[in-house]
Amino acid sequence: MRIGFYPGSFDPVTNGHVDIFERSAALVDRLIVGIGIHPGKTPLFSVDEKTAMLKNDLHPLAKRGGFDYEIVTFDRLVVDAASEHGATILIRGLRDPADFTYEMQMSGMNGEMKPEVHTVFLPASPGVQHISSTLVRQIASMGGNVQTFVPKHVADMLREKFSG
């Protein structure tokens, strides 16, 4: 069984993340989505809210694509979390050359620590290369329309967060 681990903050889930979920389905039998917990950061959404967002998008994709998925949290090295969940594929999305440079360094370091976990880079599809969770949060916080950057249910959650 090919198990992939796709880590991120998912704060919030964007159409870029959904793009990577869909394309990961062709590579793995089981996709583990890891919500990273960073003690120095204060996320906009709670782990429960992020999990709900992820389930909303992953469930129909998994059903259609014939793969299994699990959503987990982790607060340690990504490569350790992947290994602990039995993943041998670490999935990383790339939007631009800066992502590539950073991820290549991380891939080398991870490969030294856990050679059995192989990093697979998936370039973002052209229609979502410009999307980042940070920019989505900024736009939403200023009352902007984020409907084209995130799934509808996420846009609704963002509107709710910033309206009160």
Helical H segments across the chain, by residue range: 15-24, 47-65, 78-84, 97-113, 133-141, 152-163
Task: Indicate the helix (H) or strand (E) that contains 43.
Answer: none
Instruction: Give the active site residue among 41, 63, 152, 163.
Output: 41
Burial class (CB in 10 A: 0-12, 13-18, 19+), 135: middle
- Tell me if 64 sits within 8 A of 76, measured CB to CB: no
- 41 counts as catalytic: yes
- 64 counts as catalytic: no
- CA 29-120-146 angle, to 5 degrees, is 85
- 17 counts as catalytic: yes
Instruction: Give the active site residue among 95, 118, 153, 159.
Output: 95
Instruction: Give the active site residue among 24, 50, 133, 137.
Output: 133
- 92 counts as catalytic: no
For residues 73-83, b (16+ Cβ closer than 10 Å) or e, as one string? Answer: ebeeebbebbb
Rounded CA-CA distance 134/12 in Å is: 9
Residue positions annotated with a catalytic role:
17, 41, 95, 133
